[in-house]
Amino acid sequence: MSDTASPSVDVSQFQYVRKGFGLKAEVEQTLAADYSGQLVDLLRANGYTLAAGGMTVRLAKEFGFCYGVERAVDYAYQTRLKFPDRRIFLAGEIIHNPHVNAKLREMGVIFLGPTANGFDYSEVRAEDVVILPAFGVTHHDFETLRALGCVVVDTTCGSVLNVWKRVEVYARDGYTSLIHGKYYHEETRATASQVRKKDPDGHYLVVRDMDEAELVMDYIEAKAGAPLRPGRSALTRASFLERFADRMSDGFDPDRHLDRVGVANQTTMLARESLAIGAAVGEAMERAYGADHKSAHFRTFDTICSATQDRQDAVLDMLEEPLDLMVVVGGYNSSNTISLAALCAEKVRTYHIADPDEIDVAGNRVRFREIGAHHHEGEAEGWLPLTGDVRVGITAGASTPNNKIGEAVARLFATRGVDPGTLVTGEG
DSSP-based three-state secondary structure for 326: strand
Contact by Cβ (8 Å): 231, 296: no
Count the Cβ atoms, other than its own, within 10 Å of residue 286: 16
Which residues touch 336 (CB under 8 Å, ≥6 apart)? 268, 305, 308, 311, 330, 397, 398, 399
- Nearest-5° Cα angle at 418, 415 to 424: 120
Is 273 known to be catalytic? no
- Output the CA torsion sign for 192, 197, 201, 202: negative
Which stretch of DSSP H or E encloses residue 114? Answer: strand 114-115
The H or E element spanning position 239 is helix 237-243
**Largest Cα–Cα distance in the chain?**
73
The single residue of 93, 168, 186, 187 carrying the catalytic annotation is 187
392 CB contacts (<8 Å, ≥6 apart)? Answer: 55, 56, 57, 58, 323, 324, 325, 326, 327, 384, 412
The span from the first CA to the last CA of the chain, in angstroms, equals 44
- The neighbour count for residue 254, using CB atoms within 10 Å, is 20
How far is it, in rounded angstroms, from Cα 27 to Cα 73? 10
Task: For residue 85, give the amino acid letter.
Answer: D
3-state secondary structure of 110: strand
Per DSSP (E only), the strands in 339-426 are 350-353, 359-360, 365-369, 377-381, 390-396
What's the per-residue H, E or C state across 38-90? HHHHHHHHCCCEEEECCEEEEECCCCCCCHHHHHHHHHHHHHHHHCCCCCEEE
| Residue 358 DSSP one-character state | G
Pairwise CA distance, residues 346 & 370, whole Å: 13
Q: Are 392 and 412 in contact (CB under 8 A)?
A: yes
Enzyme catalytic residues: 187
